[in-house]
Chains A and B, each alone.
Chain A
């Protein structure tokens, strides 16, 4: 069966969110695009197995995720890839420089267990339902819910520490100094 123009257009439309999901999985922009490429090739070859009317993005995320983990398993035999190495790579995506606040958030996100991070990203960022996320990850809806909830609690703890620092003596001193400075001029 030939790939329809409609299917092709939907694939093209899904590329931006596939790239974002791939970066959240592997933490490396170049590798993420290689994953997206593999995903598009597989989706094209297996287009007949896509059920029209279901969520195409969820179907594509499933392919991408399977591709990522099968590559990880292959690589695991060659190189020991620790969570620390993944965290370090997550910090260097070129499009993601910015506010200190976001740097801390990204670090906290990268330090979550991989299964919690992917569940949180699928539900919290891609807009998939819990049911769709469960299908992508091949697990029960309850498992996704508990992973998302643990991820949210952990991130909240980290952000709590940050906001406690906001009220610490350093900022007060800074504010007083700024006020003193501005009243002088």
Chain B
């Protein structure tokens, strides 16, 4: 008797929010969380990688090639 009273009291003390939030909390090792990390990481990286290459680099490579074949 005393035990079920205690249980009822515990249930009343626990707000419903706790249960609904707990359902959504995933472990760091959760594959869904890890997949999301991978996606965001690649999105950040690709943002820069997909930018057009600045002209200074094609000019640089041209210079390097020219240095190799000095005009006589």
Contacts and interface: CB of A to CB of B under 8 A. Distances in A.
Interface of A: 2-3, 8, 11-12, 15-17, 19-21, 23-24, 29, 32-33, 36-37, 40-41, 44, 93, 95-96, 101-102, 105-106, 109, 120-121, 124-126, 152-153, 155-157, 159-160, 163-164, 166-167
Contacts of A160: 25-26, 28, 33
A12 B45 contact: no
A120 B28 contact: no
Contacts, number: 107
A11 B58 CA distance: 10
Interface string B19-48: 011001111111001101110111111111
A124 B48 contact: no
Contacts of B47: 20, 95-96
Given A12-B61, A40-B57, A163-B24, A120 B50 contact: no
Consensus secondary structure, chain A interface: helix
A159 B28 CA distance: 9
Contacts of A32: 48
B35 to A, nearest CB: 11
Interface residues of B, number: 36
Contact of B44 (A15, A33, A37, A106): A106
